[in-house]
Amino acid sequence: MPTDILLILIIILVAVIVIRGPKTMPKWGAALGKGVKDAKSEAAKAQAEIQARATAPDAPPPPDPAGPGAGTQPPA
């Protein structure tokens, strides 16, 4: 099964090269490399943020915006 998918991808790549020409391949490679680099840096940032939140001391919960005792009085 994976071999079939790989064969199809190779055929598509060859067809694209024949149609578009080999001169555009460096641009594609540069764009792909930049995309991978950006994805890795964003993943590293997300991992660092998760790690920072996991190791940070627990902060007290934010105060209730309605004030203390809000909603505890029975209706009149």
Residue pLDDT, tens place only, 8-65: 999 998 898 888 887 888 898 899 999 999 999 999 999 999 988 888 777 666 676 6
Q: For 49, list phi and psi in degrees, rounded to 5.
A: -65, -40
- Separation CA 74–CA 76 (nearest Å): 6
8 token code pair: 């199809």
Query: pTM for this one?
Result: 0.50
The answer to whether 47 touches 39, Cβ cutoff 8 Å, is no
The residue type at 25? M
Alpha-helical runs (H) found in the chain = 2-20, 25-55
